[in-house]
């Protein structure tokens, strides 16, 4: 059975609870970033760039069997790590569930305190863009 957004969030929170220092946590984020599949250069278009990020972020979405499938990439590895988590939570979900999602994992895994206003703005822009895609797919 497929997990809901909330259930995946709980999983991630549990995983991060295992780390008791920042080095392990960041190492894990770096590993996640490295394992995120690269997107094709043809998808790294101006239209796919998320503004408000300190590093470049490209986000692409398509609809498959009534679900939103997300792919994304960044030139910074730590950003890719965060993208990997976002994709794990929000990709392959139904548009309605994405639109209604109130994400709490960012705070709970202790990344919020490491995201300054500018960096958090980047993350917020990513989530906003994903929700906009979901909304577009829902009405189309």
Residues that bind another protein (CB under 8 A): 22-23, 26-27, 30, 54-56, 75-79, 114
Nearer to another protein, 69 or 77 (CB): 77
Choose among 2, 44, 74: nearest CA to 86: 74
Least separation, in Å, of the C-beta of 76 and another protein?
A: 4
Measured CA to CA in angstroms, residue 124 lies from 64, 83, 140 at distances of: 25, 12, 24
Nearer to another protein, 27 or 107 (CB): 27
Tell me, yes or no, if 53 is annotated catalytic.
Answer: yes
Sign of the C-alpha dihedral, residues 74, 39, 3, 133?
A: positive
**Matching residue, tokens 């994405």:** 98
The catalytic residue among 50, 53, 57, 98 is: 53
Nearer to another protein, 45 or 62 (CB): 45
For the annotated catalytic residues, the residue numbers are 53
């Amino acid at each position: 059975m497929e997990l809901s957004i909330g259930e995946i969030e709980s999983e991630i929170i549990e995983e991060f609870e295992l780390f008791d220092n920042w080095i392990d946590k960041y190492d894990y984020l770096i590993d996640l970033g490295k394992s995120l599949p690269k997107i094709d250069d043809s998808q790294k278009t101006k239209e796919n760039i998320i503004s408000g990020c300190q590093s470049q972020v490209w986000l692409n979405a398509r609809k498959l069997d009534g679900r939103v499938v997300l792919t994304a990439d960044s030139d910074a590895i730590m950003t890719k790590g965060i993208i990997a988590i976002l994709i794990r939570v929000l990709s392959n979900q139904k548009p309605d569930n994405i639109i209604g999602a109130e994400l709490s994992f960012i705070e709970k895994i202790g990344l919020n305190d490491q995201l300054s206003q500018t960096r958090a703005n980047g993350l917020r822009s990513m989530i906003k863009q994903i929700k906009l895609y979901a909304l577009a797919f829902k009405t189309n």
